[in-house]
Amino acid sequence: MTDPFTSPGAKAPPKPFAPTGGRREVRSFVLRQGRFTEAQQRAFDTLWPRFGLDYTGRLRDFDTAFGRRAPRVLEIGFGNGEALRFAAAQDPARDYIGIEVHAPGVGRLLNALAEDGADHVRLYHHDAVEVLRNEIADGALDEVRIYFPDPWHKKRHNKRRLIQPAFAALLAEKLRPGGRLHAATDWQDYAEQMWDVLDATPGLRNRAGPRGHVPRPPWRPQTHFETRGRKLGHGVWDLLYDKPGMGNRE
């Protein structure tokens, strides 16, 4: 298959992810962009000014970005945007921020948000660690969601997994007191690592108790892939962590 970003006459997305300078870090992703359709290109061309947030490396004024002050939910690695779209449609009282490095998924979600008129959603096409570290203030988030991150199942690649101690500590800093972290995986080995890391992270408390998980909550839709996996006997682990403080969400 021809790569639409490198073939003659091709046009790359106008807001591509590009790693910033500085020391090199182990990343939890590889940029395999896949097929980028004309509709997704048009979404970047026409809808990015409405729904997109360009990475600046400076603290973001989200009240200005959304035109209001509201609790904010961040989804990291939203893929094709299915869960983010569903959640935003059910929860218009809160603002939603999505981060994804793969352009086709961003383009697809841009089109879906326009179809829904979901003006309480904004998207980054950038590395989540850099966005969290540099653009989101401590205590600014009501909730963080990380659904089915790349398991990097080969042992030699485990170091690339997103859920690591330093990243978990960063998440805890960005949550408000009473905020919530929701992670889900269909790899038991990754669930074990999540427990090892998150249960030990100061400022996070496992709602189900040490090494506990909960049934899929109503705000996370069950995907077609997940349904098929369950029919085959595959497990799914939903982990909920609260940041102790006033007004924990249920």
Place of tokens 């200005």: 64
- From the candidates 45, 91, 119, 150, give the one annotated as an active-site residue: 150
Rounded CA separation 36/103 (Å): 7
Active site residue 63: no
Structure token pair of residue 245:
């403080």
CB neighbourhood size of 135 (10 A): 20
The sheet with strand 205-206 has its strands ordered as: 121-124, 95-99, 72-76, 141-147, 175-185, 237-242, 205-206
Active site residues: 150
